[in-house]
Amino acid sequence: MEKTRFRRQWRSALIVKVLGSTYPYPVLAKRLESLWAKDGTLQSNSISWGFYVVRFTHQLDYERAAAGGPWMIGDHYLTVRPWRKGFDPKDVEVASTLVWAKFLALPIEYVKKKAAEKISSRMGKPVRVDRATQNGERGKYARVFLEVDLTKPLLSKIVGKKYYIEYEGLHNICTECGKYGHARVTCPSVMREASKETVAPEPTNPATETVDPTYGEWMMAKPRNGKNKRKPSEQKPLSKGTNTSEGAARRSAPPGSVESNESRFQVLGDEEMSANGGSGESQGVSQDTMLETLHQKGIKSAALKQASQGVPAIPSVVQDGHPESRDHPLCRT
């Protein structure tokens, strides 16, 4: 009775594992919640060996997760199985999974539901055919969702034809034996043959030797949502003569500031030229004229400041000995 009470709370639970990848527990828990928590909540617990147990509070969420799919985290399939008592992760082998497979470059008359189901029945148990294949909307390939046995070599192409088969979400297929779960360098058959070789093999002529491999890289589909990012070595080079430090100095300079390689007289000359419509008359501006211009601008700015503080404005013309200018606060010494 006590064991039954302990197990009752796990009846609406699933055991999941990300196929071919590992995720930190907080990241995976958040992804699972966004996928499955529609009508209720769920609680995820990490056990070991990459397995997680997910408990649902609403029965509809549990049924959708158990019967739906395919579920993917990133570009990796999520294997889902109902919880069972006494589950031991280290003794569990992921023997099968549901995947999308493509039959590439098929003749257009075979890109339809019945033909795709017949071909996929040789690979595993077909579940459904995608809508574009059913309606004949795409002629490049046929796409089928089916269950495959991961303990056996995967079918790589249609026998007798060069119609290759591509698997989505399976990124660790051996190109030597066709099995999922290891690369060619760690393939048991390759390592076994390497241990038997005691004499170097005779060289062959690549020009006369024609090899049609049974398995290859074409079996592993590239991510459908991958973005082509430019590598650092492919970045567009700077144009010749570009001074990056000078450009950075200009961008960091405050608005209205004058760069160190230009004098105030040069700025005034530029302003004078623009005021004269770009004519050559401004090119002959003397230094005395520029000093007088700076003096007048300083007087005007000081007058505006004093006016804002309630001080009488400076007369428009200030000369030594003028009766109106001697008593002005700005002219007192």
Burial class (CB in 10 A: 0-12, 13-18, 19+), 181: middle
247 compared with 173, residue with greater pLDDT: 173
Question: Using one digit for the tens of pLDDT, what is the confidence trace for 85-104?
Answer: 888 888 888 888 889 999 99
Domains 2-90 and 96-194 share a fold: yes
Strand partners, 96: 149
Contact predicate 167/73, CB 8 Å: no
Q: Which pLDDT score, from 0 to 100, does residue 142 have?
A: 92
What residues contact 133, with CB distance under 8 A and at least 6 apart?
Answer: 111, 112, 113, 116, 142, 143, 144
Residue 60: pLDDT over 90: yes
Q: Under CATH, what is the fold of the domain 96-194?
A: Alpha-Beta Plaits (3.30.70)
Alpha helices in 107-214 (DSSP H): 113-120, 131-134, 188-196
Higher pLDDT, 105 or 276: 105
**pLDDT category of residue 191 using cuts at 50, 70 and 90:** confident
Query: Residue 242 — pLDDT band, cuts 50, 70, 90?
Result: very low
Nearest to 102 by CA among 144, 153, 52: 144
Q: How far from the centroid of its chain's Cα atoms is residue 282's Cα?
A: 56
Q: Residue 248 corresponds to which tokens in the numbers above?
A: 């950075």
Q: pLDDT grade, residue 198 (50/70/90)?
A: low
| Contacts with 287 (C-beta within 8 Å, 6 or more apart), sequence order | 265
Asked whether the predicted pLDDT for residue 209 surpasses 60, the reply is no
Burial class (CB in 10 A: 0-12, 13-18, 19+), 262: exposed
Return the pLDDT at 286: 55
The confidence score (pLDDT) of residue 13 equals 93
Domain 2-90, CATH class in plain words: alpha beta
Map out the domains of the chain as residue ranges. Answer: 2-90, 96-194
Q: What is the pLDDT, as a whole number, of residue 244?
A: 46
For residue 80, pLDDT over 60 is answered with yes
pLDDT-derived band at 143, boundaries 50, 70, 90: very high
Q: What Cα–Cα distance (Å) separates residue 322 from each residue in 17, 155, 297, 317?
A: 95, 106, 21, 9
Q: 259-267 long-range contacts, Cβ below 8 Å, gap at least 24?
A: 264/290, 264/294, 265/290
Share of the chain above pLDDT 90, in %: 29
* Band of residue 261 on the pLDDT scale cut at 50, 70, 90: very low
Question: pLDDT tens for residues 128-141?
Answer: 999 999 888 888 89
pLDDT digits (tens, 9 = 90+) for 33-45: 999 999 999 999 9
User: What is the band of 233 on the pLDDT scale with cuts at 50, 70, 90?
Assistant: very low
Residues in the chain: 333
